[in-house]
Every structure is written in C-alpha cells, then in structure tokens.
Chains A and B, each alone.
Chain A
C-alpha cells in the first residue's frame, strides 16, 4: 500500500487541475461504486440463478448465492430445452449462429476494406456521393426493408436459410465496415500508395502489400463490431428464418417465452448466458477495439 502510494506521488504532483481541485473523493467514488454495482447486478443475477436448482429459485431470493450449486440448468439449456416442439436445447442454434456469423464477418470486413481503400486512395468523380449513399445505410431502420427483403430472399431461393441471413448481414454490414476503413485510410499518407505506384505496383498489389499490413487495428475493430452486431441480431433472424434454421437469439427468445408448465427460470438464465458468452468474451479480450467501433459513428475521423 505504502509502495503504491509512493509510486503514485510523482504522478499526483504532475497532475493538472482536476485532482488538486477535488470536491471530496468520497463524492466521486461513492456514486461510481453504486453505479458499478447496479450495472453488474443483472449479470450476477443471471449467473447465480443459472446455478440454482429450481426449488431454491421458487423458495429463496433471486439475488442470493446458491446453497447448492448445480450445472443441470446449463445442461438443460444446452441440449434438452424445448424450442417450439423440438427439444434439442440451444446446441444446434449455437451452430447456426456460428455458421452465419463467420462468413458474414469475413465477407463484410473484406469488402469494407477494399471499399475504404478505393474511396480514399483511388478517388474518382462521385466518390463522395458513393460514400454518402453507403453512410445512410448505417442508420436505416430495418423495418423499412423487411418486406422487400423477404420477397427477394424467396425469389433467390434463400428464404429461411442461413446463406440468406449471411447475405442480409453482409449487405447491410458493408455500410458500417466501409465507414470504418474509409475513416482509417483517410489518415494514411497518400505518399505511401504513390511511392508504390512509382515502383510499378498495381491496384491489388498496393492493397495487399502496402495498405493491409498497416490496417490490422481497424480490421480488428471491424471484425469485433460485425461479430457483435450479427451475433446479437434478432430482427433479421426472426423475420427471415423459422424452425431449425434460426440463430441463437431467436431460439433463446422461444425458450424464454414458453408458457406451459412450471417456469424454469434457471434454464432461461443459463440459456441467456450461453447466448451472451461469445460477445462477452470478445468484449473482455478486446474491449478497447469494441469501444472504438462503438464511437466510430460519433467521433469525427
């Protein structure tokens, strides 16, 4: 403790106005800690509920620690719970979500990267208009395209299928990924591409060996953003798929909305945790990049 204080001292001295004009540290830490507790509470409740046997849930408090810890609810949510009339658990739907999310993330990020490259390093007349058209796509309320998309997927023979969902997520994901890459590449000096051109490198060669190696951070931002959005999507999943082809979120909602029998809250919470774990893991491992994607639409690039 003393050591820690000593380490902080020099920083403290160099600190600007903010620390020296303190209006009571308690007034700062108090609300921050209360808020942190409030934010963590639902996660805590989900975890402890998912670990309790059903009798304890109906008998005890929803927030207390479990007296007996059991993984039965997790097992049930994963492989036994009924979604509609099929009692398969979330397992096949988890697989559906993976089959949807991986191609959709790779395709939308790749296409966004090359679009951003063109819109910044190979500007052509009308490039700004193209960017503006794509940008509005980020803010499209998807209700405005649901009916035509459902018809189109039917015409293409993709209705109710996972490839159909991949197509939808790529089509609307391009808008976001192009924005990310365009704003990133705009700050790369043009000399980089010009020098490569003088050396005789062409369009694709410059992209592969000059631009892409510098853009790892934004590739990570784009992948994380797309992964989170597509994994968490519900509207497209519920509108364009049914039955066994549904993604995780739709299956979770079906489990939770079962109205027959004694409500199995522990299974609901375990199912919600299973749906949340992939994106939570990504957030924990790469939170910094997640925040960058989140604020990309707001803070000027």
Chain B
C-alpha cells in the first residue's frame, strides 16, 4: 500500500518529463541528429544515394572549386545586403510616419503587412509577370510615350538578382515596419518631452534619441531578416528559377539542385553545412543574449 502510493506519486513527479520527452526526442533526432548526419554525408563521396566512405574534405574542396557556388555566395552577399538595407530603411521610415497619430493607421498597417501572409511562390509569380519586359512595366511606360524606357532586369544576367531584391523587399519590409512600430510604441514619452523643452526639433529628436532607443528592435529586425535572406529559396525559384543561366543562384537553390537534380549529394551536403554555419554564426549569439537578458529581467 505504502509502496504503491510512493510509486504513483513518484510517477506523478515524472509525468511532466515523460510527456515532454517525445517532443524532445523528435527535435533531437530531426534537428540535431539530422544536422550531424548531413555533416557526415558531406565527408563522403555520396552522389545519388548516401554512401558512407570517408573522403575527408574532398566535397568542400570541390564545392569551392565550383563557379556556380561562387555565383551563389556572391549573390547571397548582394541580395542580403540590399534586402536588409532597403527593408530596414523602408520599414523604419514607414513605422515613424505611421507613429504620427495619423488617420487610417490600422488600414495602412494592414496594407503594408499583407504580403507577409502570401507564399513566396505567389509573390514570385506576381512579380515575374509585372517585370516581364514584353508585357509588364516596360510596355506600360513605353505606351505612355517614353519609348526608350527599358526594364528588362529579369532577363539580364547582370541585373536579375536585383529583381529578387525588389520582390523580397516588397514582401518583407512590412515585417520590419511591424517590429519597429512595436518598438516606437514602447518608448516613454517623457524622455521626448524633456528634449522638446530643451528646444530640440523633431528631426533631431528622432536622430539623437528615438532611433538609438530602437536598438533592440533594430537587432531583432536585422537578425530575422538575415535569416529570411539566407533561407530564401522559393522566391528565387518562382521568380527567375535561379536564372537566366545560373545568374540568380543562391546557396539554398544550389544545395537543392546539387542534391536532387545533379546527383551530387556530397557537394549538396557540404553546401548545406556552409549555410548552417552562416546561420548559426548569426542566430546563436542572438538567442544567447535574448535568453540571458530575459533571465536577468
């Protein structure tokens, strides 16, 4: 009797751990073990199916000797830098303007943010049509009378990556706006009133006081947008299909086509490892500081 009771109470004590265990197991396997598995494959000569021979860094050497991968890495830098800069700038500007006690704020906010609800495939399809040189913007402007106007970036290998930037910024700048607006709403007005009494003008107040106070929001925006930029995949496939040629290849599309289209699983795994290391270098310090602050606060 006594033993039975202590058993059941001991079971009750373990119950939370037993209930959370399956989730933990699934995440440990599908996140951490799978990362390890990908890492192992990147050290093998796998092509169509995984084989487990050890060939050292051969796949990484091959990866970095592939011109297509160099294009992908260069594009990632161009795309991320412009995407981050424009989304952050436009998002901040819109958040500041929306914060001026304007009418129809709710409506405008909804308009800026609705692209986030769409699939990148939908966004890519729409912008592919808009930027189509034969029938899209170029044709409309030409017919308005400016016959020399050309906008054929989407078919120009040197410019195509910028069409990805345009569509990406359209989709994600509202997200930056939402985070900045939340940050602006959290600022204590008394600080600003004090500056006003000192005779500071509004542009000065924004530059010297408000924008510096948005630093935590800025950090979040930059980290989350970097993450979106690195994993961008569907947008490129829908908009340019990584072309013309391989002009808009990104590491994400490179990994996919190496693994599933060109039977270079080892190279694909090596590129996935490179991507993971890039994300981890940004995300792990961010999560660490967020969690630590939360525990202190």
Contact = CB atoms under 8 A, between A and B. Distances in A.
B139 A144 contact: no
B17 A124 contact: yes
Contacts of B114: 39, 43, 280, 283
Contacts of A233: 119
Contact of A174 (B19, B26, B221): B26
Contacts of B31: 133, 136-137, 140, 145, 172, 175
Interface string A267-280: 01101100110011
Contacts of A299: 179, 182-183, 217, 220
Contact of B119 (A40, A146, A232): A232
Nearest to A235: B233
Nearest to B230: A141
A220 interface: no
Interface in B15-59: 15-17, 19-20, 23-24, 26-28, 30-35, 37-38, 41, 50
B111 A232 contact: no
A263 to B, nearest CB: 9
A-side binding surface: helix, strand, loop or mixed?
Answer: helix
B94 interface: yes
Interface in A249-301: 249, 252-253, 256-257, 265, 268-269, 271-272, 275-276, 279-280, 282-284, 287, 290-291, 294-295, 297-301
B135 A300 contact: no
B81 interface: no
Given A140-B31, A145-B34, A118 B135 contact: no
B268 A147 contact: yes
Nearest to A15: B101
Interface in A106-164: 111, 114-115, 118-119, 122, 124, 128, 130, 132-137, 139-149, 151-152
A279 B284 CA distance: 31
A21 B196 contact: yes
B2 interface: no
A133 B276 contact: no
Q: How large is the interface on A (under 10, 10 to 19, 20 to 34, 35 or more residues)?
A: 35 or more
Nearest to B266: A147
Interface of B: 12, 15-17, 19-20, 23-24, 26-28, 30-35, 37-38, 41, 50, 90, 93-94, 97-102, 108, 110-123, 125-130, 132, 135-137, 139-140, 143, 170, 174-175, 178-179, 182-183, 189, 192-193, 196, 201-203, 216-217, 220-221, 224, 227, 230-231, 233-234, 237-238, 241, 251-252, 255-256, 259-260, 265, 268-269, 271-273, 275-276, 279, 283-284, 287, 290-291, 293-294, 297
Interface of A: 15-19, 21-23, 25, 28-29, 31-32, 35-36, 38-43, 45-46, 49, 57-58, 61-63, 111, 114-115, 118-119, 122, 124, 128, 130, 132-137, 139-149, 151-152, 168, 171-172, 174-175, 178, 202-203, 228, 231-235, 238-239, 249, 252-253, 256-257, 265, 268-269, 271-272, 275-276, 279-280, 282-284, 287, 290-291, 294-295, 297-301
15 contacts: A32-B97, A36-B108, A46-B129, A49-B129, A132-B287, A133-B32, A134-B24, A141-B275, A145-B30, A147-B37, A232-B121, A239-B260, A283-B113, A294-B175, A299-B220
